[in-house]
Amino acid sequence: MEFEVWWLLAIPVIFGMGWAAARFDLRSLLSESSNLPRSYFRGLNFLLNEQPDKAIDAFIEVAKLDPETTELHFALGSLFRRRGETERAIRVHQNLLSRDDLPQADQEHALFELGHDFLKAGLLDRAEDTFGRLQTGSYAKAAQHSVLTIYQIEKEWQKALVAAEQIAEQDPSVSYQKEIAQFHCELAQEAMQRKDMPAVAGELDAALRANPANVRATLLRGDLLLAAGDAQGALRALRDIEQQNPIYLGLAAKRLMRAYEALGRAPEGVALLRDALFKNPSDDLLEIVYEKTLALEGAGAALALMRESMQRAPSAQGMTKLLEARAAAADGQTQADLQLMAKLVQQRTKSLPRYVCDQCGFRARLFYWQCPGCTGWETYTPRRADVAAST
């Protein structure tokens, strides 16, 4: 390979071009920095020194001088809201909305964020009013969903029902059938309190039309028929749960036994629930099956039941019942010892939750149709949740 003399000339030229480009970038950076208002740096300084109120004032001044800094305000507002400083978040977004030169898209964005500020602060009326101003635009759908959330928090079930139906009608890709059925169930329970039985029946029919798999409506219908003295009708209704979702039979166990006992068919009811217990173990089923087996068939049958149940699906609650059954079949000092053991186990397990939300993991001893943690509907399943065994 021959050496070319012009290569020696190319090297300093390339170096010089690189040096010039670096100088140009540095000058551009310094120029851009010098163009930023001093209020911007003051605001940063206040923020770093944990003086958020003064920082907000400084950034508001930046916004007046430079309209391009609106994104900074949105970021600050979101930060304050996440930290629970809702008053500061509200102030940031209200100051944005007070600007006459704010573009329409940014006005809608600021309104949406302000609505969430009010919602986080618990100012539900103001949040609803703010979201209601977003009838059109890119935030309209999200605002509708937020208003629906507010109605559920306020337990305004009729308003929630109308809002959910409107959302589903406007956007067929969104399904609120599960929620709509639950809203009808809430309205049915309100009608029960008023003793308006025709209204109860109408709401339950509407719930099952919206979601044929809604077990809650079937349970409420069973309650309605039992209260009316129609044990046969209640039994037919409650047996539908086997087709809807058999794991919910635990919630229907006491109702089913009431219907079977009213019809003089208690052994048939115990057999049905025992089979359900072995297929889908739950503490609700365990308690009622043990109680009825002990009453109808005696201590020996109850002990055999608990032994088989513990072999299939051991649990702390089941162990308590096993010890009780063993104590009932024993006598003398052995019985006293077993009763003491059962009492101790019961004390240890009485505070353990039975149900766990599939969505957020919220644990509770009571069954909820709407999770108190994440507000999701039908996220609890009434199957055994033995915390001691899983931790």
Amino acid letter for position 356:
V
What is the rounded distance in angstroms from the CA atom of residue 18 to the CA atom of residue 37? 31
Residue for token digits 């003793």?
A: 195
Q: Which of 302, 284, 287, 208 is nearest to 246 (CA)?
A: 284
> Is the CB of residue 329 less than 8 Å from the CB of residue 351?
no
3-state secondary structure the chain: CCCCCHHHHHHHHHHHHHHHHHHHHHHHHHHHHHHCCHHHHHHHHHHHCCCHHHHHHHHHHHHHHCHHHHHHHHHHHHHHHHCCCHHHHHHHHHHHHCCCCCCHHHHHHHHHHHHHHHHHHCCHHHHHHHHHCCCCCCCHHHHHHHHHHHHHHCCCHHHHHHHHHHHHHHCCCCCCHHHHHHHHHHHHHHHHHCCCHHHHHHHHHHHHHHCCCCHHHHHHHHHHHHHCCCHHHHHHHHHCHHHHCHHHHHHHHHHHHHHHHHCCCHHHHHHHHHHHHHHCCCHHHHHHHHHHHHHHHCHHHHHHHHHHHHHHCCCHHHHHHHHHHHHHHCCHHHHHHHHHHHHHHHHHHCCCCCEEECCCCCEECCCCCECCCCCCECCECCCCCCHHHHC
374 is in an annotated binding site: yes
357 is in an annotated binding site: yes
360 is in an annotated binding site: yes
371 is in an annotated binding site: yes
Residues whose CB is less than 8 angstroms from the CB of residue 387 and which lie 6 or more positions away in sequence, other chains included: 352, 353, 363
What is the rounded distance in angstroms from the CA atom of residue 121 to the CA atom of residue 85? 9
> Is the CB of residue 372 less than 8 Å from the CB of residue 347?
no
Sequence ranges of the binding site for Fe cation: 357, 360, 371, 374
Sequence ranges of the binding site: 357, 360, 371, 374
